[in-house]
Structure 1
Amino acid sequence: MTWFLLKGLLRDRHRSLFPIIIVAAGVMITVLIHCWVHGVVGDLTATNATLDTGHVKIMTRAYAEIASQLPNDLAIFGVEQLLTELQQEYPDLDWTPRIKFGGLLDIPDESGETRAQGPVFGMGIDLFSPETQEIQRLNLNIALVQGRLPQNAGEIVISDQFAQQLGITLGETATLISATSTGSMAIENFIVVGTLRFGVEAMDRGAMFADISDVQYALDMFDRAGEILGYFPNLLYQKQEAEEIATRFNAAYQENDDQFAQKMITLRDQNGLGAYLDMINVWILIYLAGFIVVMSIVLWNTGLMSGIRRYGEMGIRLAIGEHKGHVYWTLVYESLLIGLIGSIIGTFLGLGLSYYLQEQGIDISGMMEGGKMLMSTVLRAQITPAALYIGFFPGLAATTLGAMMSGIGIFRRQTAQLFKELES
């Protein structure tokens, strides 16, 4: 029976081609929108993770309470050993230490007197290790305006706007005036070897990046770091795994009352991101549900009209002795085949376009004035497991439901009336 009905659909394109195209188009658009929205949200999550939160972050308990004040006197001790243990315990994550600090950047003249000076926000990151991913993760090569990134001890890069305000040229010496981890004054000379453009005013006003070893030396933080960040592969945040890792890590320090005991928090526990992501997911759900309902109505109407146009055919089949129930269920079965074929084609087309947008993306750098670090200039889709069925089942169900509703007319009409509709 299935092969018989399928042959009938293939031979009568007026009965199958248009409904299949409608189903495939609706399913494809649903899958594409689902993947695109999740990709954009994932990009926002990755932006926060790369710059500040990581997918998981380790701090001391005291540091975590006032982290916004950058209390480096409460930083983690024994960073090298801790990193070794983390890489052995959680090898799937990439672990990297960072130090954030504030201070003044002083530019001396030829006689050593202050020529220009400005407040600076600094970050010490791993720039020199062969296996470091910090340069790619923070898009430092892309954000570079002039010069190069630090390659030797004592070299820094600063924001391009900040460099212009202070009148700094590449190769000049800049003096960092800050506070050490013990509370004394820190004064250290660096050589400016490059400038960066971030596209965010707060960063462009005054930011500097240096290798973490130089910052540890300048701030008297040997084998210490304010934060240790962990990243999943490909910067894809995995909520459940992150929470399991954090729970497992914190359980080892649960009975330790020391304020310098380590504490791990996830991305969702920082900067209100948990509530923000939950709100976005709710809006995504509402938007997709609305779109699926509209698509279902269109497909239902298509199935309904297709069934009504065939009332004459049903009259002939009843006139030659076919039972009403058999006619009705063959109509439903046909619509099920149409919905199945259209949903499969639409899902594959939607996944194909989504994969292209996931790998290639849409470059919006022309819409941004050089902001290439804090926000990706390429918007990408993200294929999720839900994309396999988010459009498939509505496409299948709506077409079948439309045929079932239109088929009710077979039972409400007499055979002669259905046969008469063939004439019109």
Structure 2
Amino acid sequence: MTRTYAENSAQMPLDLALLGVNELSQNLKKDYPDMEWVYRISFGGLLDVPDENGETRAQGPAAGKAIDFFNNPKEVERMNILKSIVEGEIPKKPGEAIISHEFAEKFGVKLGQKVTLFGSTMNGSMLFKTFTVCGTIRFGMTMLDRGAILIDISDAQLALDMEDGSTEILGYFKDEKYDKIRATEVVNTFNPRYSKKDDEFSPQMFRLEQQAGLEEYLAMADNMGGIMITFFIIAMSIVLWNTGLLGGLRRYTEYGVRLALGEEKSHIYKTMIYEAILIGIIGSIVGTILGLGMSYYLQEVGVDFSDLTKNINMMIPPVYRAAIFPQLFYIGFIPGLIAMTLGNALAGFAIYKRKTARLFKELEV
């Protein structure tokens, strides 16, 4: 988006939109071939519902979004539109539109009926564009369900005098996974080259976290995740520490017998630690393999929560997935190895410090 549009994006100012997006898109594809670039246009206006005589029967405010329905099926999938449609289908030809289901029910709009969008174009002139309703959709958001319209990007460019223009260009990694580090590299290489401080209409790129207050929200989500992981590690460490401690205490009789046979205390203590380390390593490896296997399944297949989110469809995929990070390969060794070894070390340390004669008496050897 342009620098000034970014400052006023909540108002959706069409007069501050990007121009020359075809050339800019070609440059982006050349500079960043591992990403997919798509156009989006956000706009607002009034939806007019005519009666049988063509006169206004009802009107209501509408928030509009234009995406590439005709040539990019991934856009429809990303916004979860197919599963959000209540009646009809997505636009298949110019002049078709999807409107919110609540708006259609409230004003009695049927499939195939025409509605007119009133508003202003990029140049400030009046906009009067008639669309045929091909489907209705439920967003699960009250503001959008009261009045919204989805049209193809080509229709929006024509109606809004935005030929070769859009309000924003979005970039997606082709592996469909957001990577903050890679995104930062793209932003840091794009802005110095294309964004000029003395040109308010020059394009400026932002990471996902930098848009619409998402940075604070995602930071809070990361912090909550970190807190949950920390508590889980502490809890598991306590459990395994107690396991090692109790396991060592239950072997007091064994230690007494070994001392009676002439084995040195240091040798007993060392073998106990070695056993704990070996058990911790084996348990951590097995647990890590099982955990990564489950995480990989959740990453590739995911869990479908569509039954729990029936009223929230738009832009929120019903399938939740896990993600495998390098930290997962070693984080399980913290409670699995360290806690187990520490528990056994403390249990053995109590015996190691006692005198042999007293230990024999306590253990009744």
TM bracket (short chain): over 0.9
Q: Does the aligned pair in 1 maintain the 2:209–2:215 contact within 8 Å?
A: yes
Q: How far off its partner does 1:354 sit?
A: 2.2
- Quick one: distance in 1 between partners of 2:33 and 2:280? 45
Q: Which residue of 2 aligns with 1:243?
A: 184
The more displaced of 358-367 and 189-198 is: 358-367
Q: Is the 8 A contact 1:172 1:191 kept in 2?
A: yes
CA contact (8 A) 1:311 1:419 kept: no
Cα drift, residue 368 of structure 1: 2.9
Displacement of 1:317 after TM fit? 1.6
**Equivalent in the alignment of 1:48:** none
What's the counterpart of residue 228 of structure 1? Answer: 169
- After TM superposition, the structure 1 = structure 2 runs for residues 186-335 of structure 1, keeping only pairs within 5 Å, are 186-253=127-194, 255=196, 257-335=198-276
Is 1:128 paired with 2:70? yes
| 1:29-64 per-position Cα deviation (integer Å, ceiling 9, x unaligned) | xxxxxxxxxxxxxxxxxxxxxxxxxxxxxx111111
User: Which structure 2 residues correspond to residues 374-413 of structure 1 after superposition, within 5 A?
Assistant: 374-413=315-354
How far is the alpha carbon of 1:195 from its aligned partner?
A: 0.9
State the shift of 1:76 in Å. 0.8
CA distance in 2, matches of 1:112, 1:259: 43
Q: Which runs of 5+ in 2 are unaligned?
A: none
Greater helix content: 1
Where structure 1 has 5 or more consecutive residues not aligned to the other structure, the ranges are 1-58
- The CA deviation at 1:329 is 0.5
- Please tell me whether the aligned partners of residues 357 and 381 of structure 1 are also in contact (alpha carbons under 8 angstroms): yes
**In angstroms, what is the RMSD of aligned CA positions?**
1.7
- Judge conservation of contact 1:159–1:196 (CA < 8 Å) in 2: yes
* Percent identical residues: 52
1:177 and 2:118 equivalent?
Answer: yes
Amino acid corresponding to residue 120 of structure 1 in structure 2: A
Alpha-carbon separation, structure 2, partners of 1:233 and 1:385 = 21
Q: CA deviation at 1:235?
A: 3.6
Structure 1 runs of 4+ with >4 Å offset: 420-424
Partner of 2:61: 119
Per the alignment, residue 110 of structure 1 pairs with 52
What displacement does 1:324 show?
Answer: 1.1
Q: Which moved more, 1:405-414 or 1:161-170?
A: 405-414
The secondary structure found in structure 2 opposite 1:252 is helix
2:32 is the counterpart of 1:73: no
Aligned length: 365
Which residue is equivalent to 2:279?
A: 338
Q: Please state whether the residue corresponding to 2:204 is helix, strand or coil.
A: strand
Structure 1 length as normaliser, TM-score?
0.82
> Taking structure 1 as reference, are residues 376 and 65 closer, same or farther at Cα in structure 2, changes over 3 Å only?
same
TM-score by length of 2: 0.95
After superposition, the C-alpha distances for 1:143-198 in whole angstroms (9 at most, x for unaligned) are 11111111101111111111111211111111111101111101011110011111
Q: Which has the higher contact order (CA 8 A, sep 6+)?
A: 1
Tell me, in whole angstroms, the C-alpha distance in 2 between the residues paired with 1:245 and 1:144: 35
CA distance in 2, matches of 1:102, 1:94: 27
Q: Secondary structure at the match of 1:105?
A: strand
3-state SS of 1:383 partner: coil
Conserved? CA contact 1:312–1:421, under 8 Å: no
Question: Which 10-residue stretch deviates more, 250-259 or 238-247?
Answer: 250-259
Which residue is equivalent to 1:5?
A: none
CA distance in 1, matches of 2:181, 2:159: 39
Aligned with 1:351 (options 288, 292, 312): 292
Partner of 1:263, secondary structure, is: coil
Q: 1:64 to 1:194 in 2, by over 3 A?
A: same
- Give the Cα–Cα distance (whole angstroms) in 1 for the partners of residues 195 and 174 of structure 2: 28
Q: What is the deviation of 1:132?
A: 4.5
Partner of 2:357: 416
Distance, in Å, in 2 between the alignment partners of 1:112 and 1:88 is 49
2-side partners of 1:254 and 1:201: how far apart?
A: 36
Alignment-derived partner of residue 29 in structure 1: none
- CA distance in 2: counterparts of 1:76 and 1:108, whole angstroms: 33
Deviation at 1:390, TM superposition (A): 1.8
| 1:313 and 1:422 in contact (8 A); partners too | no
User: Does the aligned pair in 2 maintain the 1:160–1:197 contact within 8 Å?
Assistant: yes
Q: In structure 1, the residue corresponding to 2:41 is in which secondary structure?
A: strand
